[in-house]
Structure 1
Amino acid sequence: MQKPCHIRKKTLAALIGMAISATTQAETERLSQISIVGSAADVAAKAGSVQYLDNERLEQNEYTDIHRILREVPGVNVQEEEGFGLRPNIGIRGSGVSRSSNITLMEDGVLIAPAPYASPAAYYFPSAPRIHAVEVTKGPGMVQYGPRTLAGAVNMITRPIPFKEAGGMDVSGGQFGNYKLHGHYGAATETFGALIEGLRYGSDGFKDQDGGGDTGFDKNDFMAKFRINSGPDAERYQELNIKLGYADETSHMSYLGLTEADFDRDPYRRYAAAQEDVMNNDHKSVSVNHYIELSEMLELDTTVYHHQFHRNWYKTDKVDGTSISDILSDPSGNATALAVTKGEQAGTVDVKANNRDYTSEGVQSALGVRFNTGEAQHKLTVGARYHQDEMDRFQWVDEYSMSADGKMTLNSRGEPGSDSNRIESAKAFSAFVHDQVAYGKWGFQGGLRFETIDTERVEYAGTGRDSKDAVKKNSITAWVPGAGVTYQINDQWQVLAGIHKGFAPAGPGDNDADKEDSVNYELGARYQAANLGAEVIGFYNDFDNLLGECTAATGSGCDIGDQHNAGKVTVQGLEASVHYVLEQVGTRYPLMATYTYTDAEFGSSFSDGFWGEVEKGDKMSYLAPHQLYLSAGIVKTDWQAFLSAKYLDEMRTQAGSGSIPSDEKIDSHTVFDLTGQYNVTKDGAAYLKVDNLLDEEYMTARRPAGVRGGMPRTITVGYKMDF
């Protein structure tokens, strides 16, 4: 939810009158309204683990993949998929990574997943190149940002409207046909401001399709913002902000991976059966925000939002009647079907049209009050949100013939609605109260969240919407408390501790699935000096029940959309980070290191179509015990360069304990990235980016169907300028 703004009308008037520095300050003030943190300087006030990646940091690396952006954040787990980050798999503190469905995703403080309650799997995600800043939060402050308070929240901040005429452009191209065209322009008067931003980026793809074909993508993303604000002499300062967004994507991505033997020979091969696979989607959004300063100590912030998302992922589902997941999990037992998959033998290929429409809309409001009780300074926020969303699934399957020379020909088209015809919806009301208190060297924050959710799944008979085959309804109510404390030992050292309840609702129609519940603890310390900052936080999450959602992306033997109980699970770990800047005359050397240790194990034995065969004490899958990120840079007046490395420990792909079987293991690997920039003019710079500098060949997953690999070395050059 949004936080109240702390900008004042006199401050705004002064900012508009200033020059370049005004824009920077205004951005900071405006960010405090729509973000969890607001700026890196606000982190120390939080009794929990919080990271803020500002625009300077994002522009330094020029990443177009959110996985790469987040890899420096301790406590975050990601699973690469197609190498471009189009549909990210993000987890926090062992929450599970599949389609980022166990964390809270926001854009400018508003829920951004396609259907955050009814179907939270993130098949839509804001385009990484247009993200202005990123915030990641965990801990007791999560009571403000439901519905999922189990692990953490990721908030993407969009570009703010400038307080003076300003614009910029960024053009790049590189290997594999990679390209990016990005521009923005904005201007403002004393009482009006506007911004337009356009982005087109894509690639021909780095995988080689058997028989030839596209394995890349093209994506367009446009945003417009408008602001009307009262003048400096108004009795009560007000703002009305309107944001409009549109994005579309065509990507030739597939769930079809490789056998391990074929991966070892050529990790960038793609089998013939994927030649028709393509995702088409579009996303439309509108939000209207109103802010009013009721008094010097009281302010109200309200946002109404509406999002629509349509997607049809047309991709191979079965070959000769056998699912591609089953074929790739047992290649020798499905040798004939595998030969058809490779285009070496004639057979049939079923291609499913995963056609779905999503709607997400609501209104949220937060009232902020600042007051003192004795020597204690309070920032009290009371908020509420009404939200509703739905996912409309209307799918079908087309049948193709595969020839012995690897060509697919359409045999018959399926009737829309014949594969899956259902609507899942949710209506939710939530409210919270949160107080942040400063008292001498002590800081306290505490809050309570309330969620009441009604979900429904309507399954239709046949291909029409006249006859209902089944209607399943659920109602969930939850109270989510949280509290934390900090103590400032001296100017450099701070200690912190926190506890909060983790909660996530079960999905529509899952009468056998329980809501997710946990109690989460953390304890840590921070150090901040002139050029040196460090933080270490230990965490322990005690789950009464952990849920897993069956999606096509997981490749599990379960019904798509169903959720599955895992029962008791414990997750414990350590997050550490250190930042240091060595300064010499005319040169800076920024150094950074982050480390994450995570251990997650099941507390009971059970057998399940999603989780598999689980024994008490088994470790969770797709969770690397150790992660390490290192970055070193050199910054001169006219140029800069940064080298980074990400190490990921070996991990298991199935729950288990002891040594990891070779066919259930992803080996440890280290990936280096290099970026460099040269200032050609005062306002323009040329840059070079090399992802996977050493051309490491590494495995990223064994799901949903076979082995998948990461992006090879990719060189990109570009030019960006401000005007």
Structure 2
Amino acid sequence: MRVAFAGLAVLCMASAAAADEAPATALETITVIGQAEADARIVGSAHLVDQQTLEAFAYDDLNRVLAFVPGVYLREEDGFGLRPNIGLRGANSDRSQKVTLLEDGVLFGPAPYSAPAAYYSPLTARMVGVEVFKGPAAIQHGPQTIGGAVNLISAPVPGVLSGLVAVDGGTDGYGRAHLRGSGPLGSFGALGEFVHVRSDGFKALDGGGDTGFEKNEAMVKLGHDLGEGRIELRLGYADEVSDETYLGLTEADFRAEPLRRYAASALDRMDWEWYGVRLDLEQPLLGGRLLATAYTHDFSRAWMKFNNLRGEDIREVLAAPETPRNQVYYQTLTGQRDGNPNESSDDLLIGTNDRDFRSSGVQGRLRWNLGAGAWSHGIEAGARLHDDRIRRLHDEFAYDMLGGRPVRNATAGAITADNTARATALAAWLRDEIVRGRWTIAPGLRIESIDTSFDDRLAGLGNDDRYSVVLPGIGVNFAQTATLSWFGGVHKGFSPGSPGSGEVEPEEAVNYEAGLVWNGVAGRIELTGFYSDYSNLTAQCTFSAGCDDAELDQQTNAGEVRVQGVEAGWRDAFAVGQLSLPLSVTYTWTDGEFRESFESPNPQFEVVERGDELPYVPEHRANAVVGLEHPRWDTQLSVTYVSAMRDTAGSGPIPAGEGSDGFTVVDLAAGWALSDTLRLVGRIDNLLDREYVVARRPFGARPGKPLSAQLGVRYRF
């Protein structure tokens, strides 16, 4: 705690004299090609990656977009960001299940309460902004309120005739087509959008085969003005087919050939579809402004993948492939040895995890801006009734390795999971932003009432649970001068418990933050210290974390945990003639440890001793962006550093062959305006072609994306 706030006292002594009136802390805009003014008043820590930055780098990978923001932890998996793993302020990044994920203020996770693992994420190509809320600023955005929330902002309906045609191509068979058109349609305003992204993949499968993906997203919005209000209908569709696997490599194979994939993963394939319908109404009401939304999302996925070996745990084989017993299994995995049809111990176990999700709800928020003399109030009241469910049907079959390819044998298959989890939640919140002089005080309260049910058809068991939580919080901002503001806050955070885990214990923590923002001759400096005091940290077992079907989605209660850290940022811009040089740097230091000893079947914990460090949390993470822009052209260089992360709780140096590598990745983007409507763009990811382990869970070492390049054209009208 003392370390986390040490830097604040130093800058406090350097503060300037007070001014009569100064603005409160605003939402910081992360931009790399020029400065942008803050566009929202926020008490606490919040950031916006703006449209200019998104278009400059044109990332498809949300992981890379969020690398610009301090306090965000990202665990890569496939190199393309197909299934982002996002954590905020020490919250576990596995499948982004401890972060509230939103698109335009509406939950987009397949089942945010009953199965929060986020296997679906919208393409960033459709977005014009990405907001990140942490600390008391996240209290309006549940259910996950400990780390915070990520809100993706899609393109609005402009009401005038306009459009975008964007086409890109690149290495490894990369291709992207993005079409967007909008304009009046009778008495309506309409926007239609379609994005297609594909790649042949950068990994090389033993014996040849596909390792790439294809994704499509389509969105239609129809808006109609209602006097002083507006109604908007949104229809969406998305799909993906990807030849992705959880099977990695042994340590020796990774260091020799990191882009290799074993033959045992040749059949691995993810196939999913998403449908969404949403209706928004904005209208004056009771002297305030109402925004009401009804939504429903359906998501179906089937992932056929290598699960294990029948005769030995795959983790043991990958950890010690040189032993006489494991050599046989290793040769089977790699296709160097055919399996014995009369011997089942060398069977490859391959199954399909088939899951169907539905997420529906209605929500509304009403905001009043009131002023009386020296006081002003920005009051917001909101509520959401939400229901989601997941149906799991998992199977598993035996395969022999024959001629370097898995071939299904005559052994009978098995159903390994057949269950349904459901949650119905009523959430309500109230927040008042009170402004008097140089002070802004924002007390808030959130209440969650949740009913869950779980039906395990294989075991013939089921259970129901009901619980409620009250989550208060307050944020304070003091504008000491026109350039220097101090802020701080405390709030109680929460993460829902897992249906089917017996008596559900939700995750709860009291979270503190304090910091400053200084806008002066040296640019903008932001420094924030945070501290999270968990009374109970939880984790839900996922296959991506290495859990078997018997433990899948079961909850571990890890007890008391302490997480502390510092987030720092600086940005400025310099001009020389027609050239400008924008610069930005962000840095995050995090220290998290368990305060209780326990044992868990969850492989990211196993045997935990008091004082052990949290898995999936890097101690250091930094990003620097240097831009050079001209009225006709611009270029940006992004450098990201992430220190090594544990994949199992522990202390001391991370053992060799465990955890991710520390790495530095450099990306370069550039653009050239041929006319007011036509622009050429290009980008090189991992310019230095660094090789590094991004994940070892569930099975072996897997690589980050190697050097890749793409060129494209943008036409706007």
Provide TM-score, normalisation by structure 2: 0.91
1:686 matched to which residue of 2? Answer: 680
- Alignment correspondent of 1:411: 409
Give the corresponding residue for 1:20: none
**C-alpha distance in 1, partners of 2:650/2:456?**
36
Aligned to 2:81: 85
Residues 56-88 of structure 1 show CA distances to partners (whole Å, capped at 9, x for unaligned) of 110011111011000010000000000000101
Q: 1:319 touches 1:340 (CA, 8 Å); kept in 2?
A: no
Higher mean C-alpha deviation, range 177-186 or range 341-350: 341-350
**Does the 8 A contact of 2:231 with 2:282 survive in 1?**
yes
Residue 483 of structure 1: how far off its partner (Å): 0.3
Q: What's the secondary structure of 2:138's corresponding residue? A: helix
Residues 636-666 of structure 1: per-residue CA shift (max 9 Å, x gap): 0111001110011123222111222212243
Deviates further, 417-426 or 609-618: 417-426
Note the C-alpha offset of 1:400.
Answer: 1.8
Partner of 1:539: 530
Q: Does 1:301 align with 2:297?
A: no
Give the corresponding residue for 2:353.
Answer: 354
Distance in 2 (alpha carbons) for counterparts of 1:133 and 1:143: 20
What SS is found at the alignment partner of 1:168? strand
User: Is the CA contact (8 Å cut-off) linking 2:45 and 2:137 kept in structure 1?
Assistant: no
Letter in 1 for 2:484: W
Question: 2:373 maps to what in 1?
Answer: 374
Q: For 1:361, give the aligned amino acid.
A: S
Asked whether 1:650 is paired with 2:644, we answer yes
Report what 1:640 is aligned to: 634
Given the alignment, which residue of 297, 305, 328 partners 1:336?
328
**Equivalent residue for 1:23?**
none
Aligned match of 2:419: 422
Paired residues of 2:510 and 2:532 also in contact (CA < 8 A): yes
Q: Give the Å deviation of 1:533.
A: 1.4
How is 1:63-462 mapped onto 2 (pairs within 5 angstroms)?
A: 63-188=59-184, 191-230=187-226, 234=227, 237-294=228-285, 297-332=287-322, 334-347=326-339, 348-403=347-402, 405-412=403-410, 418-461=415-458
- Percent identity among equivalent residues? 39
State the secondary structure of the residue aligned to 1:59.
helix
Q: 2:585 maps to which residue?
A: 593
Instruction: Figure out how many residues of one structure are paired with residues of the other and give that number.
Output: 672
**Counterparts of 2:82 and 2:349, CA distance in 1:** 24
Task: Confirm or deny: 8 A CA contact 2:194 2:218 kept in the other structure.
Answer: yes
Which region of structure 1 is more displaced relative to structure 2, 336-345 or 546-555?
A: 336-345
Q: Which of 548, 562, 574 is the equivalent residue of 1:570?
A: 562
**Cα separation, 1, equivalents of 2:412 and 2:73:** 39
- Cα deviation 1:464-510 (Å, max 9, x = unaligned): xxxx8111111121001110100111111000000000111111011
Q: Secondary structure at the match of 1:343?
A: coil
1:218 offset after TM fit, Å?
Answer: 0.3
Contact 2:633 2:671 in 1 (8 A): yes
Q: Report the Cα offset of residue 543 of structure 1.
A: 0.3
Moved more, 211-220 or 647-656: 647-656
Q: Name the residue aligned to 1:4.
A: none
Cα deviation per residue 1:264-312 (whole Å; 9 max; x = unaligned)? 11000000000000000000000001111136x4121110000000000
- CA shift, 1:603, in A, is 0.3
Q: CA deviation at 1:534?
A: 1.5
Contact 2:599 2:607 (8 Å CA) reproduced: yes
- 1:47/1:139 contact within 8 Å kept: no
In structure 2, relative to structure 1, the CA distance for the partners of 1:52 and 1:413 (3 Å cut) is farther
Distance in 1, matches of 2:392 and 2:157, equals 37
Q: 690, 694, 697: which one pairs with 1:700? A: 694
**Shift in Å at residue 186 of structure 1?**
0.2
Aligned counterparts of 2:198 and 2:383: Cα–Cα separation in 1: 39
Correspondent of 2:625 among 621, 631, 642? 631
Deviates more, 1:385-394 or 1:678-687: 678-687
Cα RMSD (Å):
1.8
The alpha carbon displacement at 1:327 in A equals 3.1
Relative to 1, partners in 2 of residues 1:455 and 1:412: Cα closer, same or farther, differing over 3 Å? farther
Q: Using CA pairs below 8 Å that are at least 6 residues apart, which structure has the higher relative contact order?
A: 2
8 Å CA contact 1:531–1:582 kept in 2: the answer is: no
Deviates more, 1:272-281 or 1:676-685: 676-685
Letter in 2 for 1:603: R
- Corresponding residue SS for 1:666: coil
- Secondary structure of the 1:418 match is strand
Match of 2:449, SS state, is strand
User: For each residue in 1:126-148, what CA deviation from the matched residue of structure 2 results, as whole angstroms up to 9, or x when unmatched?
Assistant: 11221221000001122211111
Helix, strand or coil: the match of 1:664? coil
Distance 1:524 1:108, change over 3 A: same
CA contact (8 A) 2:561 2:592 kept: yes
Alpha-carbon distance in 1 for matches of 2:563, 2:39: 24
Counterpart in 2 of 1:35? none
Kept after mapping to 2: 8 A contact 1:396/1:414: no
Match of 1:571, SS state, is strand
SS at match of 1:144: coil
The answer on whether the counterparts of 2:623 and 2:641 sit within 8 Å (CA) in structure 1 is yes
1:350-393 deviation digits (Å, cap 9, x = unpaired):
21110000000000011111212431111111111100000001
**Partner amino acid for 2:179?**
G
Give SS of 2:544's match. Answer: coil
Taking the aligned partners of 1:189 and 1:155, their CA distance within structure 2 comes to: 29
Shift of 1:587: 1.1
Work out the CA distance in 1 between the residues paired with 2:455 and 2:659: 39
- Secondary structure in 2 aligned to 1:45? coil
Per the TM alignment, residue 531 of structure 1 is displaced from its structure 2 partner at its CA by 8.0
What's the counterpart of residue 474 of structure 1?
465
> Distance between the aligned counterparts of 1:377 and 1:42, measured in 2?
20
| 1:596-607 paired onto structure 2 within 5 Å | 596-607=588-599
**CA offsets 1:378-429 (integer angstroms, 9 cap, x no match):** 11111111000000011212322212x31222225966x8221110100111
- Cα distance between partner residues in 2 of 1:474 and 1:337: 44
Matched, 1:50 2:46: yes
Tell me the CA shift for residue 112 of structure 1.
Answer: 0.6
> For residues 589 and 198 of structure 2, what CA distance do their matches in structure 1 show?
34
- Contact kept, 8 Å, 1:216 with 1:252, in 2: the verdict is yes
Asked if residue 584 in structure 1 is aligned to residue 576 in structure 2, the reply is: yes
Indicate if the aligned counterparts of 1:267 and 1:697 stay in contact, CA closer than 8 A.
yes
Q: How many angstroms apart in 2 are the aligned matches of 1:290 and 1:589? A: 42
Runs of 4+, deviation exceeding 4 Å: 39-44, 412-415
**Contact preservation (8 Å) 1:141, 1:446:** no
1:673 offset after TM fit, Å?
Answer: 0.4
Q: Deviation string for 1:167-224 (max 9, x for gaps)? A: 0011001000011000100013795210000000010000000010000000010000
